[in-house]
């Protein structure tokens, strides 16, 4: 595994789920970590504690990624503390499923504000504040390659993340920054498991070739590779992380 010593990584939504695993795995590979959270202060502080106990450095910063002023403050606090940010992982996200005919304005706006505007807010900050030769990894989803009823708004938000990422890769490449999306399939976290029956979980897990749910660790290892210098020539790509589901 590559060595990320001397690199500083900011992971949005890393108090829980996939983001927490990405934070811990980047730290195991030598990176110093900014753990961002919206509301789960205690969970974020536990991730920080675990990283420090394992010999790396970390701080937790509260910021709602959908709010420009929060994201500006988060970057400035991270740079004031660690001196720079080299790796940005846009992981914060919400999934609120509904048939389009039943969806409220609130359900639409919440997903667009966190999943899309959140990524836009961080990319805009990164355009001047991410270090030269940095890396950006944005969490999209395999649902952009499927047609599941009730996933219309969520999958539209994740398709927008892909296109923002591809265009930003071209816009920021002159500074040596590469930008990619990772597209997890069903992964065992609150976001996926909440509200689903055992039967539905088993059915969705069986849509991939390995007949199991993805784990946060499956995803974190891919993010670590994409954050490494070895992955520099990969940019503007949408990388499925779904065990041959789609």
Give the footprint of ligand NAP on residues 173-212 (CB under 6 A). 184, 186-187, 189-192
Terminal Cα-to-Cα distance of the chain (whole angstroms) = 27
Asked if 39 touches ligand NAP (CB under 6 A), the answer is yes
What number of chain residues touch ligand NAP (CB under 6 A)? 31
Degrees, nearest 5: CA angle 96-100-105 = 65
Asked if 47 touches ligand NAP (CB under 6 A), the answer is no
Among 64, 86, 125, 218, the residue binding ligand NAP under the rule CB under 6 A is 64
Judged by beta carbon, residue 172 or residue 189, the one nearer ligand NAP is 189
d(CA 226, CA 82): 21
Q: Is 41 left (phi over 0), alpha (psi -120 to 50) or beta?
A: alpha
Judged by beta carbon, residue 18 or residue 169, the one nearer ligand NAP is 18
Q: What are phi and psi of 59, to 5 degrees?
A: -135, 155
Degrees, nearest 5: CA angle 238-241-244 = 110
Among 141, 144, 162, 208, the residue binding ligand NAP under the rule CB under 6 A is 141
Residue 37 annotated among the catalytic residues of the structure: no
Show which residues are catalytic. Answer: 154
Positions that interact with ligand NAP (CB under 6 A):
12-19, 36-40, 64-66, 91-95, 114, 139, 141, 184, 186-187, 189-192
């Amino acid at each position: 595994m590559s060595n990320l010593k001397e690199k500083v990584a900011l992971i949005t939504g890393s108090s829980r789920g996939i983001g927490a695993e990405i934070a811990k795995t980047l730290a195991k590979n030598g990176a110093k970590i900014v753990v961002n959270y919206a509301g789960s202060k205690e969970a974020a502080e536990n991730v920080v504690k675990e990283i420090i106990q394992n010999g790396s450095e970390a701080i937790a910063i509260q910021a709602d990624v959908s709010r420009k002023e929060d994201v500006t403050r988060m970057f400035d606090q991270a740079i004031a503390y660690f001196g720079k940010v080299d790796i940005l992982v846009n992981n914060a996200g919400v999934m609120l499923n509904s048939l389009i005919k039943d969806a409220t304005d609130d359900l639409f706006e919440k997903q667009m504000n966190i999943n899309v505007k959140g990524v836009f807010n961080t990319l805009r900050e990164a355009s001047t504040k991410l270090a030269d030769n940095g890396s950006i990894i944005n969490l999209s989803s395999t649902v952009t390659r499927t047609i599941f009823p009730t996933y219309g708004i969520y999958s539209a938000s994740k398709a927008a993340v892909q296109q923002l990422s591809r265009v930003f890769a071209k816009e920021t490449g002159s500074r040596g920054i590469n930008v990619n999306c990772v597209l997890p399939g069903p992964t065992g976290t609150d976001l996926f498991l909440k509200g689903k029956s055992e039967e539905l979980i088993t059915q969705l897990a069986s849509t991939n070739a390995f007949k199991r749910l993805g784990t946060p660790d499956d995803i974190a290892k891919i993010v670590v590779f994409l954050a490494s210098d070895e992955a520099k020539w990969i940019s503007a790509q949408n990388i499925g992380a779904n065990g041959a589901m789609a």
